[in-house]
């Protein structure tokens, strides 16, 4: 370990802090957030974060993901993927948070309603 190695580590930590700040600055807890679910890279469903629901996704290859929306939190409660990373991910409740199941190609994302309006205009 030499002096400049510390420099590499420091640059990395600064990058991490910058990235963390970027993603957390925008995370608020508004009352009208949406849960956006993507499957295979395509929009699957958009639901309100504040209406309790259980969403079950199953594709032709038998890949199953079950997402629960309850008390303003979205959580992956079941998946038949190998790594179970998505199931172990904490429930998402702030804008910008997401749960990803890479093997089954499912992404659950929390989006603020404002963001959707901006997206709609720019499209």
Partner 1 sequence: MEHQKTKQMVLLSMMMAIAIILHYIESLFPLPVAIPGIKLGLSNVVSLVALYLFGPGSAILIMVLRVLMTSFLYSGLSSAIFSLFGGILAVSAMILIWTLRNKGFSIVGASVAGGIFHNAGQLMAASIVLGTSAVFSFFPYLIVSGIVTGTATGLLSNMIVPRLKTIIT
Distances (CA, A) of 36 to 61, 74, 101: 22, 10, 14
> Using the rule CB under 8 A, is 9 a contact of partner 1?
yes
- Work out the angle at residue 96's Cα, subtended by the Cα atoms of residues 14 and 73, and round it to the nearest 5 degrees: 130
Q: Of 119, 76, 71, 66, which Cα lies nearest the Cα of 97?
A: 76
Size of the site for partner 1 (CB under 8 A): 33
> Using the rule CB under 8 A, is 96 a contact of partner 1?
yes
> Using the rule CB under 8 A, is 118 a contact of partner 1?
no
> Using the rule CB under 8 A, is 30 a contact of partner 1?
no
Nearer to partner 1 by Cβ, of 6 and 117: the residue is 6
- Closest separation between CB of residue 99 and partner 1, Å? 9
> Using the rule CB under 8 A, is 97 a contact of partner 1?
yes
Task: Retrieve residue 2's tokens.
Answer: 């030499």
Please return the burial class of 84, using the count of CB atoms within 10 Å of its CB with bins 0-12, 13-18 and 19+.
middle
Task: Retrieve residue 24's tokens.
Answer: 């957390």
| Contacts with partner 1, residue ranges (CB under 8 A) | 1-5, 7-9, 12-13, 15-17, 19-20, 23, 38, 41-42, 83, 85-86, 88-90, 96-98, 100, 102, 105, 107, 109
């Amino acid at each position: 370990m030499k002096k400049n190695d510390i420099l590499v580590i420091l640059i990395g930590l600064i990058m991490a802090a910058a990235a963390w700040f970027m993603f957390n600055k925008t995370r608020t807890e508004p009352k009208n957030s949406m849960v956006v679910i993507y499957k295979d890279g395509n929009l699957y469903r958009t639901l309100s974060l504040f209406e309790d629901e259980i969403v079950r996704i199953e594709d032709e290859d038998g890949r199953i993901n079950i997402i629960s929306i309850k008390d303003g939190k979205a959580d992956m409660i079941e998946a038949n993927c190998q790594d179970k990373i998505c199931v172990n991910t904490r429930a998402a409740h702030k804008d910008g948070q997401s749960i990803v199941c890479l093997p089954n190609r499912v992404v659950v994302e929390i989006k603020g309603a404002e963001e959707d309006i901006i997206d709609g205009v720019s499209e």
